[in-house]
Amino acid sequence: MPPSYAHVVTALRSAGCVFAEDEARLLLTAARTPAELTAMVDRRAAGRPLEHVLGWAEFSGLRIAVEPGVFVPRRRTEFLVGQAVGLALAVASEAPVVVDLCCGSGAVGAALVASLPGAELHAADIDPVAVRCARRNVGERGRVYEGDLFGPLPRGLRGRIGILAANVPYVPSGEVGLLPPEARDHEPLVALDGGGDGLDVLRRVLAEAPEWLAPGGSLLVETSERQAGPAVELFAEVGLIPRIETSEDLHANVIIGRRGLGGGGA
């Protein structure tokens, strides 16, 4: 006899799942057989992220495929997508060149091309599992490369990128162990650990970003509230014109750095 809704809710509550009722409905809908449902409930009760159990995450109105071991796109990152779409629509006279750096599952890139018809999308990640997942999500709408930051991107993109979304890891190394078990035990360290102050990967992106951005193009990154001030200073040091956008509802902080129309920060 298949587990009932009440049984699944009880099992999830006992495992500490805060949204047990919502998760139970999703699992019951996703499972094709009673045996599969039991296995899915067991995996979730053991602490695996719900999205890894389901095989997908909802993001910006899309169903994004996520495999075990791949960073799960956060709902707060939808704010970054909204900011990027607004910028692209405001300044682009033609289809923009969009790059999703540290792309993970490719959620940001997939959401951007869904909102920007005709956009030329390129995405990259250093994790081969994430790259495989991103290629599923991006499909024929863009190209996904495996490699470190700008390294695998086509050289012909230099100076042409209108929107550069870099969802870099920004958790300080010493705080990774304080993350919820779902993240620290089941998501790749490379997608979480931002170095001593959490800004190491951002520094590496900023070191090259100005030469890749088109005049008037923008780099967008997500960061924590306490890192926003130091991060803005880093943007300014490389000649990008920075500003901070925040969403209290999504608890999101996005820094946008624009390259000047003359190629510098002015």
DSSP string, 167-200: ----B-GGGGGGS-HHHHHHS-GGGTB--TTS-H
105: left (phi over 0), alpha (psi -120 to 50) or beta: alpha
Q: Quote the tokens at residue 266.
A: 């002015």
- pLDDT, averaged across the chain: 93
Q: Is the pLDDT of residue 197 over 70?
A: yes
Q: Is the pLDDT of residue 266 over 50?
A: no
Asked if 193 and 200 touch (Cβ cutoff 8 Å), the reply is no
Average pLDDT of the segment spanning 109-138 = 96
Q: What is the pLDDT of residue 5?
A: 86
Helix 20-30 × helix 5-14 angle, to 10°: 130
More confident residue, 255 or 185: 255
User: What is the percent of the chain with per-residue pLDDT over 70, rounded to a whole number?
Assistant: 97
Q: Name the band, by pLDDT with cuts 50, 70 and 90, for residue 93.
A: low
Asked if 79 and 63 touch (Cβ cutoff 8 Å), the reply is no
Q: What is the pLDDT of residue 90?
A: 85
Average pLDDT of the segment spanning 255-263 = 86
Shortest CA distance to 91 belongs to which of 261, 265, 236?
261
